[in-house]
Amino acid sequence: MSTTVGVVVPAFRPDVQELRRYVTAIDETLQPETVVVELDSPRDGIEGQLSDLPAIVETVPYRRGKGAAITAGFEYLETDVRVFADADGSTPADSLASVVEPVSSGAADLAVGSRRHPDSEVASHQTFARRFLGDGFAWLAGTLLTASLYDYQCGAKAITAEGWEQVRSHLYEPGFAWDVELAAMAGALNLRIVEVPIRWEDRPGSTVSPIRDSVALFRALLSARHRAKQVSDDRLHTAIAARREQPTALVERDR
């Protein structure tokens, strides 16, 4: 029996032609059972422009955030492997297939695409500020978390259905910090994590603000570390959590 693959593409006011090209390439290259485009705050008429795509387009009239959109898409899927890829197409479809392979073959529970891996091919580089902040964040995250990676924020990851079932109730971050939280929880739960070098090209028009989102990522990293320590039964962090009001996991929101 073959392994089924589902792909989620979170999108906030994307370039329509780029999104069409990318979803088509994903469908042709990966041949997934399902592709779901989770579209936040769409401009007027965009649904009609995407109606002929080989994908299910789920729209929400407001901005949920990347993490909330991926979570909704993963909950929709019923496939053996669940994949997400950022809508800007920075990770080409053939590289996305490389990320999927260790999970679909059973070699890993979570595969993380990596721009900073020594074997990655970066076609065009980010600005110095974004690269410097990104490198610093990756170093700090690797110091604080069980999962030590070159790159936590690359928009290409794949996880088994069983792995998703384990981590889903431990994810709280609705925005860009969802990536690092996913890696933190997977590490705390002793899932097998593989980092996969990719071919990657920085795309203009990113909705990430280097300064504002770096501050938010740092705060989210500390929160993810705290929750990961709880999952690992760390007494100190469990005691601290017992004194605080606990947030609601993404999968429990809007129910």
pLDDT tens by residue, 224-253: 887 888 887 666 556 555 566 778 999 998
Mean pLDDT for the chain?
Answer: 87
Strand, coil or helix: 30 = helix
Distance of alpha carbon 6 from alpha carbon 164, whole angstroms? 13
Distance of alpha carbon 161 from alpha carbon 56, whole angstroms? 19
pLDDT tens by residue, 126-158: 554 556 566 777 777 778 888 889 999 899 999
Lowest-pLDDT range of 48-52, 81-85, 157-161:
48-52
Q: With a cut of 50, say whether residue 194 has pLDDT above it.
A: yes
Task: Map out the domains of the chain with their CATH numbers.
Answer: 5-252 (3.90.550.10)
